[in-house]
Amino acid sequence: MSKFFYSENSHKQHQPPDSFWRRFLKYRQKKKAQADLNNYSKLRNPYRKEPKQQRKFHLVPIGLGLLFIVWLAIMVYLPFFQISKLSFTGLKTIKQSKIENTVLAELNQRQWLPSANYFLVSTNKITSKLQENFPLQSITITKIFPNELKIAVAEKISSIVYDNSKYYYLLDESGAVMEILGPVGAGSYINQQMTSTTVSSTAISTTTVAIHLPEYQKITTDFGAYPILYDYTAPENINLKQIVLTKEIIATTIEASEELEKQGIGHLKYFVMESQTAGLKAITDKKFQVLLSFFNPVKDQIANAATILRTNRPNEYVDVRFGERVFWK
């Protein structure tokens, strides 16, 4: 009998250690052998019953999908997110009711999805619609959560109100009469006393004269913030489509009204034109008047006036009709 006892597991206990890769390869070979054995038994055993595969419904993804659909429907159809407030800035001649109706018509279009929803409203479509219907230089539409549109516009002024002391007329950029706005009011005339003397006598006589002043507040309220031009030399009888002023005078009047506002010289009331050679006289809410020429760049004239007003306080006028030579009193 052998001196030593050899167990049947001695080869496992005393075998040299295998590396990781060697153990991994043995594991793969064992799995492959088991798969081959199973396939062989399936082919050779005609009485083997295959287990039926049970369908597993993935409830979690379906639930999340339904929850997302419900959340999306709430965001789209809930009245809380429907545009219900409109605010406008920059309107001068355009009636707010007209531009507001245009925006509401765009928001209330019948579609499968509500076009007035805060998340679905198309600001580009509204901008295009407003540019088609109104003379605007620029439009900025801002969405304010959860149900407001803030619309800022810059109007393109191409018309003026013309005053011949009898009627108010709306002139287009070519100087033609577009519309007869109506007669001047009785309140547009004020009584002013005039004194005079004769050559043969030193006695001073006083007379009362009715002077017409444009009703700029009434015109702005009723017709819009158009530039107003009161023409001393205007004809009494004016018809529709009649050309009353030149294109240059219309352009100068519009540009002067814009530049006076930009430079902050004063709140413009109206312009007075005694003659075309004399130019324009801008009447503002200040004590002084601004005298402008039709023959020099308007922007330069207004800039010269602004420069003088930084260091001077005239009481009667600032005359910028003669280039760099500015006169004031």
Question: What are the pLDDT digits (tens) for 45-86?
Answer: 566 666 666 655 567 788 888 999 999 888 888 999 999 999
Give every CB contact of residue 128 below 8 A, 6+ residues apart in sequence.
none
Compute the C-alpha angle 200/205/211, nearest 5°. Answer: 130
pLDDT recorded at residue 50 = 60
Strand partners, 228: 161
pLDDT recorded at residue 64 = 87
pLDDT of 162-199, one tens digit each? 999 999 999 999 999 999 999 998 878 787 766 655 55
Same domain, 170 and 310: yes
Inter-residue contact 275 to 302 (CB < 8 Å): no
Same domain, 129 and 181: no
Domain boundary among 139, 155, 171: 155
Same domain, 174 and 323: yes
pLDDT recorded at residue 105 = 92
CATH number for the domain spanning 137: value is 3.10.20.310
Reference 242, options 169, 146, 316, 186; nearest CA is 169
Which of the four pLDDT bands, split at 50, 70 and 90, describes residue 297? very high
Residue 65 within any structural domain of the chain: no
Same domain, 167 and 117: no
Same domain, 149 and 218: no
Residue 132 pLDDT greater than 70, yes or no: yes
Same domain, 142 and 286: no
Please tell me what DSSP assigns to residue 90. Answer: S
Domain with 324 in it: 160-187+213-328
Structural domain total, the chain: 2
Residue 309 within any structural domain of the chain: yes
Same domain, 278 and 133: no
